Amino acid sequence: MASFIAVAWCLVLLAVSSRVPDRAMTIDRVEYEVSELSEYPQRLTISNEGLRYESHSNERRPESLGLGLYERAVAPGEVESIEQQIAPTTLRSLPDHRGNVLAGDLVKRIRVTAGGETIEKLVGTKLPIDPALQRTIDVLDRLVADVEKHPRRVLRVTVQNATLSGTGEFAATVSFLGDGLSMTAVRGPRDRSDSPDDLVTLYWWPHVPGAPKSDVHAVPVVLQSVTSRPGALATFTVHSRLENTPTGHVTVQLRYLNMSPTVGTRTVEVGQLFSTPVVLP
């Protein structure tokens, strides 16, 4: 009888212990990467030192502020709250797309370092995502949106006075501005680059209200530095020629690309910066 009670008691203890959360795992660091620009993924880093977001592309959200560094301090108890939402012990067991992501696919990668262990999960865009893992991704995406409200050193672009003539001549004024507490710099057309890609590229497509973008054309532009408008890091005039534009409106968008972290002795933001699309008659 005593042995039976002892065994039963052991079974009860075992059942209880399996339901008690593992309190030994405390997050040291969370990294969340999204490979919008394959060579330089977007990276959110969470630690007790703060939340830091490095942006190298605004391709998916050209209306966002820009590329560069966003940063803020953690609020009291925030890391613990994030830990509860991410739940590393649960994360460890979630299925992901490891070994099945196509080279060049948009990859979302989560790395959680806790208790001396690093848990990594990654997903692409071609396979279904486990719902629990998607909830974790949603948490991190919300944190990114929040940190983006705190620019520390961010480059953004504005396009003004855009015109398109009846013969397809495009002209505009492009200004690069810095936001945040620190200075940033922009590569100019005369700065040396080893990239085969142009500093600024113009994209245009027929504007069809309500229809998805299609028949997109990329054309080179001619940049000319002009006196910067107040508050701008650099201002250029942009000229290009659009061939065979359809009757009706067209949408134009500019992309600034720099893949070199330094130009001479200057540190410059790396990445691709898209202007907000503009519809022109």
Partner 1 sequence: MSDDAQTTAPAAGDGGSPPGGASCCHCTDARWLDTQAFCGDTVRLQASLSGACPDGPATVEILNGGTRIDTMNANLTGGSVAASWIAKAPTANWRTDRIRFRVRAAGLTCESSNELVFRQRPTTSWVLMNVVHASGNGYGPSHEKHDAQLEADRVHYSIKLKTHGPPFTAAKQTSAKTAIENAWNTGFGARKFHRTACGRGPACDCAFDCCKCGFRLDINFVTSGEHVDIEILPGPARSGMNGDSGHWGDPPLSAMSYPHEIGHMLGQADEYSSGATDPTGVQPNSAAGEPTLMGNKTPPLLNRHFRFVLAFLNAKAGGDTYETIPR
| Among 6, 11, 13, 102, interactor with partner 1 by CB under 8 A | 102
- Listed ranges 4-12, 45-53, 169-177, 193-201: which one lies at the site for partner 1 (CB under 8 A): 193-201
67 DSSP β-pair partners: 155
- Listed ranges 136-144, 161-169, 237-245, 254-262: which one lies at the site for partner 1 (CB under 8 A): 254-262
3-state secondary structure (DSSP) of residue 260? coil
Q: Which is nearer to partner 1, 74 or 219 (CB)?
A: 219
- Listed ranges 21-29, 120-128, 145-153, 242-250: which one lies at the site for partner 1 (CB under 8 A): 120-128
Tokens of 5: 């009670």
Residues 11-50 that bind partner 1 (CB under 8 A): 33, 35-41
User: CA quadruple 190, 194, 196, 199: dihedral positive or negative?
Assistant: negative
The strand pair at 42-47 and 117-123 is best described as unpaired
d(CA 233, CA 172): 17
128 binds partner 1 (CB under 8 A): no
Between CA 171 and CA 155, with CA 207 as vertex, the angle to 5 degrees is 55
Please report how close the Cβ of residue 267 comes to partner 1 at its closest, in angstroms: 14
- Listed ranges 72-80, 147-155, 194-202, 226-234: which one lies at the site for partner 1 (CB under 8 A): 194-202
Angle between helices 131-147 and 78-86 (to 10 degrees): 150
* CB contact at 8 A, 110 and 118: no
What b/e sequence results for 66-89 when a residue is b if at least 16 CB atoms lie within 10 Å of its CB, and e otherwise?
Answer: bbbbbbbebeeeebeebbeebbbe
111 binds partner 1 (CB under 8 A): no
Q: Which is nearer to partner 1, 235 or 272 (CB)?
A: 272
279 binds partner 1 (CB under 8 A): no
99 binds partner 1 (CB under 8 A): yes
Please report how close the Cβ of residue 167 comes to partner 1 at its closest, in angstroms: 22
| Among 45, 58, 175, 201, interactor with partner 1 by CB under 8 A | 201
Residue of 37, 73, 72 whose CA lies nearest to 55: 37
- Listed ranges 85-93, 104-112, 142-150, 182-190: which one lies at the site for partner 1 (CB under 8 A): 104-112
266 binds partner 1 (CB under 8 A): no
130 binds partner 1 (CB under 8 A): no
Residue of 148, 131, 171, 205 whose CA lies nearest to 34: 148
d(CA 121, CA 188): 38
Tokens of 8: 């039963």
54 binds partner 1 (CB under 8 A): no
Binding site for partner 1 (CB under 8 A): 33, 35-41, 59, 97-107, 109, 120, 122, 126, 194-197, 201, 203, 205, 212-218, 255, 259-261, 270, 272
